[in-house]
Amino acid sequence: MSLQALSGLKVVEWSEFVSGPYCGKLLADLGADVIKVERPSFGDRARRCGPFPEGIPHLEKSGLFLYLNTNKLGVTLNVESASGAQLLKELIKQADILVQNNPPRYLDELELDYEHLKNVSPRLLMTSIAPFGQTGPYRDYKSCNLISFHTSGIAFVNPSDGVDDTEAKPPLQGPEHQAGLLAGLSAAIGTMSAVFAQQMTGLGQHVDLSEQEALASITRRELAVYAVEGMGWTRLKGSQPGMASDIYQCSDGRVYLICFHDRTWESWLEVMGNPEWAYSELFLDIATRRENWDAAKVMIEEFTREHTVDEILRATEPRRIPCKPVNTAKQLVESELLAERDFFAEVGHKEAGNVKFPGAPCKLSETPWSVQRPAPLLGEHNEEVYCGRLGYTRQDLVRLRAGGVI
Amino acid sequence: MDRLPLDGIRVADFTAVWAGSHITQWLGVMGAEVVKIESTLRPDLTRQVFRGMSEDCPMSAVFAVLNYGKKGCVLNMTHPKARELAKELIKLSDIVAENFGGPVMDRWGLGYSELKKIKPDIIMYAGSGFGRTGPDRERPAFAGIIEAFSGICSANAYSDGEPLPMATRGYSDLAAAEHGVFAILAALYHRSRTGQGQYIDLSMTEVMATLLPEHVMQYTMNGTVHTPQGNGDRVMAPHGCYRCRGDDEWVAIAVSSDEEWDAFCSAMGNPEWTKDERFYTGLGRLKNREDLDRHVQEWTREQDHRQAAEMLQKAGVIAGPSSKVEEVVEDAHLAHRGFFVDIDHPGVGALRLAGLPWKLNNVPPGHYCHAPLLGQDNDYVFKELLKLSDEEIARLEEEQVIY
Amino acid sequence: MSTGGGTQNTVQKLPLEGIRVIDFTAVWAGPHVTQWLAVMGAEVIKIESRLRPDMIRAYWNLQSTGHSINSEFAEFNYGKKGCTLNMTQPRAREIVRELVGISDVVTENFGGAVMDRWGLGYAELAAIKPDIIMYAGSGFGRTGPYKEFPAFAGIAEAFAGLCHLNGYPGGDPRPMATFGYADVTSAEHGALAILAALHHREETGEGQYIDLSMTEVVSSLLFQPIMDYTMNGRVQGRQGNRDSVMAPHSCYRCRGDDEWVAIAVSSDEEWRSFCDAMGNPAWTGDERFRDALGRWRNQDELDALIGDWTRNHAHYEVAEMLQRVGVMAGPSLKMEEVIQDRHLRERGFHLDVDQPGLGTWCLAALPWRLSDVPPGNYEHAPELGEHNEYVFGELLSMSAEEIARLEEEQVIY
Amino acid sequence: MSMQALSSLKIVEWAEGVPGPYCGKLLADLGAEVTKVEMPGCGDRARKRGPFPDDIPHPERSGTFLYLNTNKLGVTLDVRSRTGAEVFKRLIEGADILIENHPPSDVARLGFSYENLKKVNPALVMTSITAFGQTGPYCDYSTCNLVSFHASGMAYINPSDGVDDIEQEPPLMGPANQGDLVAGLTGALTTMSAVFARRMTGLGQHVDLSQQEALVSMTRHQLGNYTVEQFPWLRAKEARRPGVSEVYRCSNGLVYLICNDERMWERWVEAMGNPEWAMTELFADRALRRENWDAGKAMVEEWTMERTVEEVVRLAEASRVPCKAINTVRESVHSELLADRGHFVDIHHGEAGNITYPGAPYKLSRTPWQVNRPAPLLGEHNEEVYCGRLGFTRQDLTVMRAQGVI
Residue type, A89: K
What percent of chain D shows pLDDT beyond 90? 32
C1 pLDDT band, cuts 50/70/90, is very low
- At D1-45, the pLDDT tens digits run 468 888 889 999 999 999 999 999 989 998 899 999 999 988 999
Is the pLDDT confidence value at C8 over 60?
Answer: no
User: Do chain C and B touch: 3 or more Cβ pairs under 8 angstroms?
Assistant: no
DSSP annotation of A242 reads P
Shortest CA distance to B163 belongs to which of A266, A396, A309, D249? Answer: A309
Instruction: Report percent pLDDT > 70 for chain C.
Output: 94
Q: Which residues contact B19 (CB under 8 A, 6 or more apart)?
A: B99, B127, B143, B170, B172, B173, B174, B176, B177, B180, B204
Average pLDDT for residues C281-300, to the nearest whole number?
A: 90
β-pair type (A72-76, A33-38): parallel
* D86 to chain B: closest CA residue: B281
Q: How many helices (H) and strands (E) does chain B have?
A: 18, 12
CB A404 within 8 A of CB D48: yes
- Write the ipTM: 0.74
Chains that touch B (3 or more CB pairs under 8 A): A, D
Mode of pairing for the β-strands spanning B340-345 and B349-354: antiparallel
Which of the residue ranges B245-259, C388-402, D145-159 has the most confident prediction, judged by mean pLDDT? C388-402
User: Whose CA is closest to D325, among D258, D259, D256?
Assistant: D256
B239-243+249-323 topology per CATH: formyl-coa transferase, domain 3 (3.30.1540)
Q: How far is CA B44 from the centre of its chain?
A: 17
What local confidence, expressed as pLDDT, does residue C203 receive? 85
Report the amino acid identity of residue B394: A
Q: Give B279 or D336, the one with higher predicted confidence.
A: B279
Q: Is the pLDDT of residue C62 over 60?
A: no
Check CB contact under 8 Å for D82 and B258.
yes
Reported as a single tens digit per residue, the pLDDT across B220-229 is 888 888 888 8
Q: Please tell me which of the candidates A81, A399, A402 has its beta carbon nearest to residue C268.
A: A81
CATH architecture entry for C249-333: 2-Layer Sandwich (3.30)
Predicted model pTM = 0.80
Residue D259 — pLDDT band, cuts 50, 70, 90? confident
Ranges of chain B with pLDDT below 50: none
Residue A243, pLDDT score: 59
The pLDDT tens digits of the residues spanning A111-140 come to 999 999 999 998 899 999 999 889 888 888
- The fold of the B10-211+335-398 domain, in CATH, is Rossmann fold (3.40.50)
- Given this model, what pLDDT does residue C81 score? 95
Residue C311 has what pLDDT? Answer: 94
Quickly name the fold that domain C20-222+347-408 has: Rossmann fold (3.40.50)
The whole-chain average pLDDT of chain C stands at: 87
Where does CATH 3.30.1540.10 sit in chain B?
239-243+249-323
Chain D CB contacts of B282 below 8 Å? 81-83, 399, 403, 405
Average pLDDT taken over every residue of chain A:
88
Write out chain C residues lying below 8 Å of A82, CB-based. Answer: 268, 290-292
Report pLDDT digits (tens) over A5-16. 888 899 999 999
B217 contacts in A (CB within 8 Å)?
A: 51, 63-64, 66-67, 355-357
Rounded distance between C-alpha atoms, residue B158 and residue B176, angstroms: 25
3-class secondary structure, A353: strand
The pLDDT assigned to C65 comes to 59
The pLDDT score that the predictor gives to residue C4 is 37
pLDDT in tens, C24-52: 999 888 999 999 899 889 999 999 998 88
**Any bridge partners for residue D179, and if so which?**
none
Tell which wins on pLDDT, D39 or D197: D39
pLDDT tens-place string over residues A190-237: 888 888 888 888 888 899 999 988 888 888 778 877 777 776 677 887
B34 exposed, middle or buried (CB, 10 Å; 0-12, 13-18, 19+)?
buried
Mean of pLDDT values over A58-76: 93
pLDDT at B140: 78
pLDDT of residue C2 exceeding 60: no
Judge whether D123 is closer than 8 Å to chain C, CB to CB: no
CA D357 to chain centroid: 15
Contact A223 B181 (CB under 8 A): no
pLDDT of residue C6: 37
The DSSP annotation for D214-235 comes to: HHHGGGHHHHHHHHHH-----S
Please compute the mean of the pLDDT values over residues D246-264 and round it to a whole number: 84
Write the pLDDT tens digit of every residue in A84-94.
998 999 999 99
Strands B250-254 and B318-321: antiparallel
- Predicted confidence (pLDDT) at residue D270 exceeds the cutoff of 70: yes
Rounded to an integer, the average pLDDT of C133-160 is 86
CATH class of the D10-217+340-402 domain in this structure: alpha beta
Smallest Cβ–Cβ distance between D137 and the set C200, C245, C342 belongs to C342
Q: What mean pLDDT is predicted for residues C300-305?
A: 95
CA distance A147 to chain B (A): 6
User: pLDDT class for D242, splitting at 50, 70, 90?
Assistant: low
Number of A/D CB contacts below 8 angstroms equals 70
Separation of alpha carbons D42 and D57, rounded Å = 13
Please indicate whether, in this complex, the C-beta atoms of A399 and C268 are within 8 angstroms of each other.
no
The residue extents of the domains of chain C are: 20-222+347-408, 249-333
Residue C3 has pLDDT above 60, yes or no: no
Instruction: Classify residue B332 by burial, with Cβ atoms within 10 Å: 0-12, 13-18, 19+.
Output: exposed
Which range is most confident: C198-202, C279-283, D189-193?
C279-283
Tell me if residue C211 is catalytic.
no
CA distance C30 to C338: 25
Chains that touch D (3 or more CB pairs under 8 A): A, B, C
| pLDDT score recorded for residue B380 | 96
Distance CA C409, CA D402 (A): 80
Q: What integer pLDDT is reported at residue C58 of this predicted model?
A: 56
Q: What is the mean pLDDT of residues D291-306?
A: 85
Please report the domains of chain A, with CATH numbers, ordered by start residue: 10-218+376-402 (3.40.50.10540), 245-327 (3.30.1540.10)
Question: What's the pLDDT score for residue A197?
Answer: 82
Q: Does CATH number 3.30.1540.10 belong to domain D243-330?
A: yes
In terms of CA atoms, which chain B residue is nearest residue A160?
B167
Task: Identify all chain D residues contacting A43, using CB atoms and an 8 Å cutoff.
Answer: 41
Percent of chain D whose predicted confidence (pLDDT) is above 70: 98
Share above pLDDT 90 across residues of chain A, in percent, rounded to a whole number: 37
pLDDT in tens, D159-187: 877 888 888 888 888 888 888 888 888 88
The one catalytic residue among C23, C54, C104, C183: C183
CA-based R_g, chain B, Å: 25
